[in-house]
Every structure is written in structure tokens, then in C-alpha cells.
Chains A and B, each alone.
Chain A
Amino acid sequence: MLHTVNKSSFERNSLQSCLNTIDDSSVILFIEDGVINAANNANSSMIADLATEGRIFALQGDVEARGISSKLADNIKLVDYAGFVDLVVEHGTAVSWV
């Protein structure tokens, strides 16, 4: 499954709810304010572990709009909107954590 998270964990606990729910084959895409979770001063060890496994993505335009391109945690994969579409195609059901 693909899980999108569109809020910073400083604002809501939707990321935590998502992390509590996902299975071993799920991937997470950060969009909108959710890209704050991809910054290297914001993430949890669980995010770092998932990123190492190549399972954390962030929407490039939203990362750039928030000025955190140089502050991204390691192994976060950036995608554009076409990449977002590809993730939905590839991973089946898309769950939106809002």
C-alpha cells in the first residue's frame, strides 16, 4: 500500500498513526506540509529505518517550496507528480493520512 502524509508531525499525529498501521510492504509519500517530516531534524528513527529500506518518498515541489531541500534526511527519495502517479499505480490501494 501507499500511504500519503500531508501534515508535519509538529502539527498533527497523522504520521504516528500511519507508522503504527503500516505493514512491511507499505511505502510512505510525504506531500504538502508532510514533507517537513523528511527534514533531518524532524524524523524519528523509524522514518530513518524505512528510508534506508527505500520506502520513504517526498514530493519534490513541496520540499522546494518549504526550503528544506538541503536539510533532507538520508535516503529520502524525491518524486514529482508523475512519480506520485507511478507510486499509486505500483503500490495498489492509496491511503491518505490527513
Chain B
Amino acid sequence: MKFAIQVNEGPYQHQASDTAFQFAKAAIENGHEVMRVFFYHDGVNNASRFTLPPQDDRHVVNNWASLDIKDADGNPELVVCVAAALRRGMLDESEASKNSIDGNNIHPAFRISGLGQLIEAGIQCDRLVVFGD
């Protein structure tokens, strides 16, 4: 079965992103497809490549990256909402140069896109599961 997952909370503050990750992992391990994970609201903070938790703690960002969720062309399907990301200082290379900012922090396993990607996932997938707080 085809799953889409929506994550509305950032890492290390609420349990939502941990639960969402464990759910996605279990779905893949049990033969399902996770077509897309959409990070919305504070969920965009799951995509920061500058995240450095203590060594004995789980690395939420790397955990997401390890799921290797991509489309057929190899593009990341860990999708970060652009409006939610920009207002929280989460930028990829293109948004940084567009806004003349000298840095970017989106992990390469993620990509920034629009809300349409969430709607599309809701239409194309068999199930959309939302994790929030």
C-alpha cells in the first residue's frame, strides 16, 4: 500500500516526529511504500543538516535521511513546505541565493517545495497519516 506522512512538529520538542519516523520505518519494513513525507509548520526543523544531537541520543534528521525516500528519478521525497521553512530560517541553496543569504541548511535528503505536494500526496496515496501535537 502507498503511504504519505505529514509531520507537523519539530524534533526533540514533541514526540510526533519520532512516532512518524518509527511509523514510516515499520511501513517500509513491512513491504509498503512511503511515497512522500511532508514536513509542515515546525516540522520543517526536521530537515536541518546542522542538527548535532549528543552522541548517545538519536539523530532525528539522519534517521529520516536513512529511510532513503525518493521518487523514480532519485529526487528526495522528504518534502519541506517552502512558506513554513523560509519563515523559520530553513533555506536550500536556491532560496538562499534568491534572497541574497550566504548560507543554507536543508539536508540533501530533503527538498523544499509547496503545499501542492501535500495535496498531491493525499490524492495519489492510499493513506495519509498525520503526526502532530
Contacts and interface: CB of A to CB of B under 8 A. Distances in A.
B26 A94 contact: no
Most buried by A among B127, B128, B132: B127
Contacts of A94: 127-130
Interface stretch (B27-35, B46-54, B66-74, B88-96): B27-35
Which bracket fits the contact residues of A? 10 to 19
Contacts of A88: 3, 127, 129
Contacts of A98: 8, 132-133
Contact of B30 (A6, A32, A82, A92): A82
Contact of B133 (A6, A82, A86): A6
Contacts of B1: 89
B130 to A, nearest CB: 4
Contacts of A72: none
Contacts of A81: 22-23, 25-26
A37 to B, nearest CB: 15
Given A96-B131, A98-B132, A85 B27 contact: yes
B66 to A, nearest CB: 16
A80 B19 CA distance: 11
Given A6-B133, A89-B1, A89-B127, A32 B23 contact: no
B15 interface: yes
The binding surface of chain B is classed by DSSP as: mixed
Contacts of A80: 26
Nearest to A59: B19
A31 B132 contact: no
A33 B27 CA distance: 22
- Of B19, B29, B131, chain A has the most CB atoms within 10 Å of the CB of B19
Contact of B26 (A31, A32, A84, A93): A84
Interface string A73-85: 0000000111011
Given A6-B133, A59-B19, A82-B26, 8 more contacts: A6-B19, A33-B15, A84-B26, A85-B23, A85-B27, A92-B127, A94-B127, A94-B128
Listed from nearest, the 10 A-B pairs whose CB atoms lie closest are: A81-B26, A96-B130, A98-B132, A32-B15, A82-B26, A81-B22, A85-B27, A94-B129, A85-B26, A88-B127
